[in-house]
Amino acid sequence: MKSSSGRLSMTDEQARNYAASIPFDRRLYGQDIEGSIAHARMLAKQEIITAGEAGAIVRGLNSIRKEIERGRFQFRIELEDIHMNIEARLFEKIGDVAGKLHTARSRNDQMALDLHLFVKDEIPKTIDGIKALQTALMELAGANKDVIMPGYTHLQQAQPVLLAHHLLAYFEMFQRDKERFHDCLARTDIMPLGSGALAGVPYPIDREFVARELGLSKVSTNSLDAVSDRDFIIEYEAAAAITMMHLSRLAEEFILWSSSEFGFIKIGEEFTTGSSIMPQKKNPDIAELARGKTGRVYGHLMGILTIMKSLPLAYNRDMQEDKEGLFDTVDTLQSSLEVFAGMVRVIEVNTGRIAQAMRTDYILATDLADYLVKKGLPFRKAHGVIARLSEYAMSKGKTFRELGRKEYRDFSPLFGGDVYDITLESSVAARDVIGGTSPQQVAKALRRARRLIKR
């Protein structure tokens, strides 16, 4: 700060560099300037400074914004942070009247404001990114409405499901993620300025005016809390961690499905890389990276939780460590969503390989048990019969449909000719409950998905 007293500036160069946040908090220049302009206008409206002084300050700030945007601004590490860098430049541009801007304000409530504005800006972008991925999943589901695939538990074939049903399961996860970000907005959309360093300020300020100027819907209600609250950052990072967890599960399935053993899908060339030594390979690097980047997003969440743990009120310098993790979380999540949506758009489904995976029809075992239940056998008994029947069929190297009527009868007299009507198609069609995998239910789910995306 130009007008700095000795107390504000660190003299040891190493210590000064260690404490400086300008290498990363310069990213907040837009929010910082926007907040300062609103603050200056309020000061003038309240006659704490004159309209002429506010005019000079606002013009100065606007021209500093242009300098930064054009890459002509000299950020200086010795000025520590974004607030001081901008203020020092304001002094150069408009002289001593610049010193009036910081009336009724502290860097503590100023930084809190910058962060609230930043996260508030990023939430809708994040939601849009999730939406784009949901749209891609929905379209892939819609284009493969009739494809039946093995459903798994324990990664063992369990029961047939529609591929669209499987893809729409991820649509649901991402829908919840959007809701979480939306919920987090309520606690982000708050205006902390006016809290001062910690106790409020001794000037007749108008906090509601500043909030309106900045498009924030509430003002904070306790000054100590307002300068030391980073819950909204934790919430954003928690929502981001959950979204990345979902992304990592989808990534894992794509990696598995694109392997030569599964071969269910082909990931577009643009999203795979060859090996430098094995010419046959197409590695699903993008999916693997998204899976891997989940780790750093979890790390940032643990980081901010640990930074905030046991901090006494109010502001502590520890809190400066909130930013890099937040920025990296935003960048990692948004870029992962974007590249994933692109990848999903060009996924090719290999229906032949999927059908091939179910050529032995043991995946229909539950349906055979349900068949016996419908003929009057208690489910537990039916389960036992089919367990023995499956073992028998496997030992003979036969599928269910290759077993003769006599062989069925040997296991239960309840078996009739209609047992051969049990197919992959009948299996999925039978699961016609809300949330089930029948074609009608999945068509309904697709319509719902389209509605949710349009909203």
Q: Shortest gap between Cβ of 38 and ligand ARG (angstroms)?
A: 18
Q: Nearer Cβ to ligand ARG, position 317 or 406?
A: 317
Q: Is 16 left (phi over 0), alpha (psi -120 to 50) or beta?
A: alpha
Looking at 3, 4, 275, 426, which residue is catalytic? 275
Please work out the total of residues on this chain that contact ligand ARG, with binding judged by CB under 6 A. 10
Rounded to an integer, what distance in angstroms lies between the CA atom of residue 453 and that of residue 169? 15
The catalytically annotated residue of 5, 154, 276, 395 is 154
Strands 190-191 and 218-219: parallel
| 86 touches ligand ARG by CB under 6 A | no
Q: Does 108 bind ligand ARG (CB under 6 A)?
A: yes
Three-class DSSP category at 75: coil
Residue 248 annotated in active site = no
State the residue number with the nearest CB to ligand ARG.
Answer: 320
Distance between CA atoms of residues 133 and 141, nearest Å: 12
Complex with ligand ARG: residue 112 or 354, whichever CB lies closer:
112
Q: Does 21 bind ligand ARG (CB under 6 A)?
A: yes
- Least Cβ distance, residue 84 to ligand ARG (angstroms): 9
Helix (H) or strand (E) holding 44: helix 29-45
Q: Dihedral angle at the C-alpha atoms of 193, 312, 316, 188, nearest 10 degrees?
A: -40
Which residue, 160 or 196, is less far from ligand ARG as judged by CB?
Answer: 196
The span from the CA of 400 to the CA of 7, in Å, is 84
Is residue 154 part of the annotated active site? The answer reads yes
Query: Which residue pairs, CB below 8 angstroms and at least 24 apart, start in 91-97?
Result: 91/2, 91/3, 92/2, 93/60, 93/63, 93/64, 94/56, 94/57, 94/59, 94/60, 97/53, 97/56, 97/57
Nearest to ligand ARG of 78, 407 (CB atom):
78
Site string for ligand ARG, 192-221 (x = CB under 6 A): ------------------------------
Among 39, 65, 100, 107, binds ligand ARG (CB under 6 A): 107
Instruction: Considering only residues 268 through 327, tell me which ones interact with ligand ARG, judged by CB under 6 A.
Output: 315, 317, 319-320
Among 32, 53, 81, 235, binds ligand ARG (CB under 6 A): 81
The catalytic residue positions are 154, 275
Contact residues toward ligand ARG (CB under 6 A) are: 21, 25, 81, 107-108, 111, 315, 317, 319-320
